[in-house]
């Protein structure tokens, strides 16, 4: 069975926090980063969205070893949109987190990604790389790996909701317009404990290719996160 090359990007951070934008006025955390957040991290490495191919897609998995609540300075806006007085507010956070991103190159599946370019970008990012908290930088490791077509273990993968029925169903931002006036939302599945042993099947109901890495983990591409996909849908 033929294999394809991929760039596996491992992002680690002692603390991360992803606010759920569906809850206005309160700080409710998500158990994993939205694809739009991970796309933003890649864009920061490249130097901005203008340097990113609008068709770029990636697969990802996420796991946190702990969670908690601390106090953050909240900068609210009043009814007119002006800044009001800052105030402390409880905020959920995740601890000792690992995000794995796969950039895949498979011309047979019309997935063309310059892996060498992205490896250089992630080794020497243009902008600081963060994961949901502006005060915390992340650690990044990259390596070229081989994937093969076939079903893989779901584990901690973040998957389109149509691929699997296991894990928590989440409504997450996929692409956000550059002026933040429009957001593309999609449904995903994520098993926060990362212990889901279910196999992600190759399904005729799901048109995308499913790959598996040497550790047996499922690798499934998510929809594109470039802001142009939100701006094109804006009424």
The Cα angle at residue 210 between residues 206 and 215, in degrees rounded to 5: 150
Confidence of residue 134 (pLDDT cuts 50, 70, 90): confident
Domain count, the chain: 1
Query: Chain-wide mean pLDDT for the chain?
Result: 90
Does 125 fall in a domain?
Answer: yes
Residue-level pLDDT at 27:
73
Does 177 fall in a domain?
Answer: yes
Residue-level pLDDT at 207:
57
Cα–Cα distance for residue pair 155/27, rounded to 1 Å: 27
Confidence of residue 110 (pLDDT cuts 50, 70, 90): confident
Query: Are the C-beta atoms of residues 145 and 47 closer than 8 Å to each other?
Result: no
Looking at the DSSP assignment, which residues form a beta bridge with residue 95? 15, 66
- In terms of residue numbers, what domain contains 45? 4-68+90-232
Give the torsion through C-alpha atoms of 111, 114, 119, 125, to 10 deg. -100
* C-beta atoms surrounding 70 within 10 Å: 11
Rg (CA), the chain: 18
Does 81 fall in a domain?
Answer: no
Residue 30: name the closest of 171, 212, 229 by CA. 171
Query: Are the C-beta atoms of residues 189 and 166 closer than 8 Å to each other?
Result: yes
Share of the chain above pLDDT 70, in %: 94
DSSP 8-class letter at 183: E
Check which CATH number belongs to the domain holding 37 and give it. Answer: 3.30.70
Does 116 fall in a domain?
Answer: yes
Could you identify the residue written with the tokens 């995903």?
188
Q: Which residue has the higher pLDDT, 210 or 26?
A: 210
Residue-level pLDDT at 205:
53
Does 184 fall in a domain?
Answer: yes
Contacts of 218 (CB under 8 A, 6+ apart): 151, 152, 153, 154, 155, 157, 159, 199, 200, 210, 211, 212
Instruction: Give pLDDT tens digits for 154-195.
Output: 999 999 998 899 999 999 999 999 998 999 999 999 999 999
Cα–Cα distance for residue pair 88/74, rounded to 1 Å: 6
Residue-level pLDDT at 157:
97
Lowest mean pLDDT among 60-64, 138-142, 149-153: 149-153
């Amino acid at each position: 069975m033929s294999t394809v090359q991929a760039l596996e990007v491992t992002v680690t951070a002692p603390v991360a926090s992803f606010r759920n934008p569906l809850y206005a006025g309160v700080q409710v955390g998500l158990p994993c980063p939205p694809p739009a957040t991970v796309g933003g991290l890649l864009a920061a490495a490249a130097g901005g969205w203008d340097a990113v191919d609008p068709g770029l897609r990636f697969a990802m998995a996420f796991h946190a070893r702990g969670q908690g609540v601390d106090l953050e300075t909240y900068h609210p806006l009043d009814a007119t949109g002006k800044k009001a007085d800052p105030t402390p507010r409880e905020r959920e956070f995740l601890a000792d987190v690992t995000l794995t991103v796969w950039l895949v190159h498979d011309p047979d599946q019309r997935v063309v990604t310059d892996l060498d370019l992205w490896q250089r970008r992630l080794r020497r990012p243009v902008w600081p790389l963060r994961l949901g908290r502006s005060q915390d930088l992340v650690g990044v490791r990259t390596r070229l790996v081989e994937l093969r077509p076939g079903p893989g273990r779901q584990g901690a993968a973040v998957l389109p909701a149509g691929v699997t029925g296991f894990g928590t169903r989440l409504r997450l931002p996929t692409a956000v317009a550059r002026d933040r006036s429009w957001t593309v939302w999609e449904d995903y599945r994520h098993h926060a404990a990362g212990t889901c042993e279910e196999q992600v099947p190759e399904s005729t109901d799901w048109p995308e290719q499913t790959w598996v890495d040497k550790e047996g983990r499922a690798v499934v591409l998510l929809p594109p996160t470039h802001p142009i996909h939100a701006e094109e849908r804006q009424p």
